[in-house]
Chain A
């Protein structure tokens, strides 16, 4: 019979820990990220481990709310453990920043805690690192975040990755934010590439049949600027899109063009089926995919109305990287044993060994007493 105390020594489902080489490598990767973002003027932030659930309740999709760990404090308030860094960060920034502080650039690297069922295969991630550029609208800010994402992944040595860029703003022109249920249904149908469902939702939303068919095709689009241009021209000829909708597509085209001209490492594809997973997204949205990994390794986008939910009215754009997911696929050569093979200090007495060790350490090597 299993000793009950021994059974408790296992990690609960959903908990994660890593040790020795693995932890060494993880910390070095975080340092590499810090070295990059530091030079771009991003300051570190630390969000609380738990906060009041009610503050975030309206901002979390019900499907995701099921995975949040909740607890009741001694005063009877419902608390939640940190489930998403951006949400917790938005509250802190909304409360502490003033207009004079903007723009602000911050980065974080923290554990998030989510429940997993025993047979869960959702591949949830438990360490998020990312950046947020707060207080800047427009193309330069969007490009800054996309380029920084590329620089970070290059520093980490992430091979064969591709950025899929889409637009929540485009969807919002068709389904305004006042109808959250309808918006949620649209997002899900588009993200899962259920074209018939998208067409039916467009019809329910009052779109004529031809426009509904076109929108279903549009939201399934993945391709180049030239291919998108052909689609826009077809829409223009048949008057299938409004000026505002065409404007959103032109913005994505422009962003894609400027990104391409910067000659970055990761290819960027226009993907209008990327509409962002979170209710708070507003403008551009993107996911990064890498060969051999069965889920996006990074995601991000613009969220201009989230921080004002908690305080100051500040637009923002950012990304988060699922570092544990990507860690074993990186080409970066980081190994505790190879790069930092320790040298044994020599000497008769502890003092002699300590002095020898200090000489070794002064040469940049690792010394053991």
Chain B
């Protein structure tokens, strides 16, 4: 029994800092890529793995549609996409926290029964508070979420927090840590079924090499 295709496995990577960390890990696993600034795809020198470089937010879409069979992505974006993937490996790098934050001088005693929260992560925010019976009004933003409490759009934000320096710079504080966010190697379920032996080998290789 063999996998149906011998074409390179396809892996979507998010452009940016995370891509560099994944590429470095893949290099230690024996995959060598030549990527120039304008290239959006690249295949390793032995033709085993084809990279597709996409915007972070778009990555789950490409994997869900099977355009890329595999992807490296934060659990925040996977959740937000609503897609269900096989999670094959958790990387040691890129960990962060999803937090509820407010102005440093915000007094929660003045909160109404319904919290107003500005966020990029509207699905997560809605589901998190809904599951706990807390009514929320979610205002969806696409960036610079920290501005919302400062300018009075919403008293709360839900956003990723690494060091907290951006929050402090805007006179905000973490009110509650909502979830740990990890970077995962995800796979389209149908793609996995077709290529399961080669994917299992790739995962073993990735797991077998230290990330430090």
Residues on A lying within 8 angstroms of B by beta carbon are 117, 119-123, 160, 162, 164, 191-194, 222-224, 267, 269, 271, 287, 289-296
Query: Known: A123-B64, A162-B194, A296-B190. Is A291-B82 also a contact (CB below 8 A)?
Result: no
Residues of chain B lying within 8 A (CB to CB) of residue A224: 1
Q: Is B125 an interface residue (CB 8 A)?
A: no
For the complex, give the distance between the alpha carbons of A292 and B65 in Å.
10
* Known A-B contacts A122-B82, A294-B64; A162 and B193 likewise in contact (beta carbons under 8 Å): yes
Cβ contact within 8 Å between B64 and A269: no
- Tell me, in angstroms, the Cα distance from A365 to B158 when the chains sit together: 66
Contact A192 B84 (CB under 8 A): yes
* In contact, B190 and A295 (Cβ under 8 angstroms): yes
CB-based contact B193/A223 at 8 Å:
no
Q: Is the CB of A295 within 8 A of B1?
A: no
The verdict on A193 contacting B86 (CB below 8 Å), with A121-B81, A123-B64, A294-B64 known, is yes
B193–A287 CB distance below 8 A: yes
Determine whether the beta carbon of B1 is less than 8 Å from that of A291: no
Residues of B in contact, count (CB < 8 Å): 24
**Contact residues in B for A191 (Cβ distance below 8 Å):** 189
Given contacts A119-B82, A123-B65, A289-B194, 4 further A-B contacts (CB under 8 A): A121-B65, A193-B86, A224-B1, A294-B66
Q: B193, A121: Cβ atoms under 8 Å? A: no
B5 interface hit (Cβ, 8 Å): yes
Q: Please, which residues of chain A bring their CB within 8 A of the CB of B65? A: 121, 123, 294
The reply to whether A294 and B190 form a contact with Cβ atoms under 8 Å apart is: yes
Contact A295–B66 (Cβ < 8 Å): yes
Name the residue on B nearest A274 (C-beta).
B193
Q: Which of B4, B81, B83, B85 contacts A162 (CB 8 A)?
A: B4
Q: Which residues of B contact A120 (CB under 8 A)?
A: 82
Instruction: Determine which of A119, A122, A160, A164 lies in contact with B193 in the assembled complex, contact meaning CB atoms within 8 Å.
Output: A164
From A122, A123, A267, A293, B1 is in contact (CB under 8 Å) with: A267
Query: Would you list 30 pairs from A and B whose C-beta atoms are within 8 A, ordered by A residue?
Result: A119-B82, A121-B65, A121-B81, A122-B83, A123-B65, A162-B4, A162-B193, A162-B194, A164-B193, A192-B84, A192-B87, A222-B193, A222-B196, A224-B1, A271-B193, A287-B193, A289-B190, A289-B193, A289-B194, A291-B5, A291-B194, A293-B66, A293-B190, A294-B64, A294-B67, A294-B188, A294-B190, A295-B190, A296-B190, A296-B193
Cβ of B60 < 8 Å from any Cβ of A? Answer: yes
CB closest chain-A residue, reference B193:
A289
A253 → chain B, closest Cβ, in Å? Answer: 14
Q: Once bound together, how far apart are the Cα atoms of A121 and B68, in whole Å?
A: 14
A121–B190 CB distance below 8 A: no
Shortest C-beta distance, B190 to chain A (Å), equals 5
